[in-house]
Amino acid sequence: MSDPEPCRIKHEDTEQQIDLIQEYEEIKEEEHHVTTEEKTHLQTDDILKRREKNRFICTQCGKSLGRNKSLKIHMRTHTGERPYTCTQCGKSFSQSSHLSLHMQIHSGEKPFRCIQCGKSFSQSSHLNEHMKIHTGEKPFTCTQCGKNFRQSSSLNLHRKIHTGEKPYSCTQCGKSFSRSSTLNEHMRIHTGEKPFTCTQCGRSFSGSSQLNQHMKIHTGVREYICFECEKTFITAGDMKRHQRIHTGEKPYKCAHCDKRFNQSVNLKAHEMIHSGKKPCKCSHCDKKFRDLRTLKKHESIHIRETPQT
């Protein structure tokens, strides 16, 4: 008599049991974070639909996910539900992990440090993005003009230049913008609001990006490096202008002649030759000049002529 065949557990049954255990644990975890009052607003189960074995499909957009919890979280993009609230500032989030990351803003915790310049970050993904400044990596390319970007979000914004899409308009002057944040910053020109103040010198700015750039003057952080000569710079714009020395690039062309320049400020100064404009007036006489450098050189004559007392 042969030995009885050993009991075999079907792989599908095992996977189903694992899914059920995971689903139970996820529901318990969800109950731990969401209060009874908040749970009354969770109506996402009404629009969940099971597709095939162990697949869940969103009936709003058709997206398919492998876990019930993943679909529940996804559904919050449609319902706008944000059950996790910061106790410090009241900001709400759709996921507990997003709240945990946000809390680092209040705690000031920045455990991820750049070995190149010493700058610290609250998230490893932010450090990875920052490292592209040092490496020069720009993996996202515009198919229209070939321009490269470090981030996909920057590429998406750039594409609006080609499409001409500017959905955000100023109610004061009618100027349009591709980003709502740019419009908000622009509006401060009309209101005169400068809510971002430097803690070192008290100077105020209309935008946070302007303050961040200004702070580098005090900290001495020079995170942009030229790989041709290893010279460092405070801003990306300063580095880009410098690199034209190595490349010989002169993107600014005079509209009146064929002369080209590597900086827009040099072009503007040159075009005054054609226009005849001389905006810089001597404070000692009526003589006028096209640029400040020439004016200062001229004014030194008056200073030398001033009798000593």
CATH number of the domain that 261 lies in? 3.30.160.60
In a domain, 42, yes or no: no
Percent of the chain predicted with pLDDT > 70: 81
Question: How many structural domains comprise the chain?
Answer: 3
Helical pair 68-79 and 11-33, crossing angle rounded to 10 deg: 40
Whether 155 has a pLDDT exceeding 70, the answer reads yes
Q: Is the pLDDT of residue 176 over 70?
A: yes
- Name residue 281's beta-bridge partners: 288
The pLDDT of residue 13 is above 50: no
Query: Residue 184: inside a domain, yes or no?
Result: yes
Same structural domain, 133 and 192: yes
Examine the fold and report which residue of 104, 120, 142 is the final residue of a domain before the chain moves on. Answer: 104
pLDDT tens across 263-273, in order?
A: 888 888 888 88
**Do 119 and 136 meet the contact criterion of CB atoms below 8 Å apart?**
no
Q: What distance in Å separates the CA atoms of residue 280 and residue 287, rounded to the nearest whole number?
A: 9
CA separation, residue 14 to residues 5, 27, 50, 68, 309 (Å) = 19, 20, 19, 17, 100
Do 121 and 189 belong to one domain?
yes
Q: What's the CA gap between 145 and 159, in Å, rounded?
A: 10
**Stretch 133-152: mean pLDDT:** 86
Q: Is residue 192 part of a domain?
A: yes
Q: How far apart are CA 63 and CA 82, in angstroms?
A: 20
pLDDT band at 10 (very low <50, low <70, confident <90, very high): very low
pLDDT in tens, 47-67: 544 445 567 888 888 888 888
Q: Give the bridge partners for 64, in sequence order.
A: 57
Domain annotation covers residue 17: no
Query: Between residues 19 and 114, which one has the greater pLDDT?
Result: 114
Q: Going by DSSP bridges, is the β-strand pair 84-85/92-93 parallel, antiparallel, or unpaired?
A: antiparallel
At 296, the pLDDT band (50, 70, 90 cuts) reads confident
What tens digit of pLDDT does each residue of 24-43 get?
455 444 444 444 444 444 44
Query: Is 158 domain-assigned?
Result: yes
What would the mean pLDDT of 232-245 be, rounded to a whole number?
85
Residue 7 lies in a domain: no
Do residues 199 and 295 share a domain?
A: no
Same domain, 192 and 151: yes
Full residue range of the structural domain in which residue 274 is found:
252-305
